[in-house]
Amino acid sequence: MNVHIHHSRRIPGDHLEERVARSLHAAVDRFDQHVEEIRLWLDDVNGPKGGLGLSGKIVVQIRGLPDLVLSEVDQSLDALLARLSDRLGNALARKLRRRRDSRRHGAMGFVPIAS
């Protein structure tokens, strides 16, 4: 799995790449065989003004499925990464569960019988 990080120079924090990689890997390790690539964009949208100014967008390429796209805004980098990672893990689990369930029900899919 490849992880690419794109960020503005205004993003605070030491060892940014290591922190991001650790957070994302914790969220997707159990789905590693399904994930081809993760791209993360980080930006400080408010600049020196402060406030809810850090934004993050993740695009995940999953084998055999459309890309998964998530975005969040938060005040601190750690909170932003935690929220994105949590959402990413949940969204991947849901998406892969749906694919597994659709395969289980066959090509015609599951159609409930009306009563």
C-alpha torsion angle, residues 27, 30, 36, 41 (rounded to 10):
0
For the chain, what are the domain ranges? 2-104
Predicted confidence at residue 48, as pLDDT, reads 66
Predicted confidence at residue 51, as pLDDT, reads 59
Q: pTM of the entire structure? A: 0.78
Per-residue pLDDT tens over the stretch 42-86: 988 876 666 568 899 999 999 999 999 999 998 888 899 999 999
Fold topology of 2-104 = Double Stranded RNA Binding Domain (3.30.160)
Gap between the Cα atoms of 54 and 73, Å rounded: 6
Per-residue tokens: 6: 């794109």
**DSSP H/E element including 69:** strand 68-74
Gap between the Cα atoms of 84 and 78, Å rounded: 10
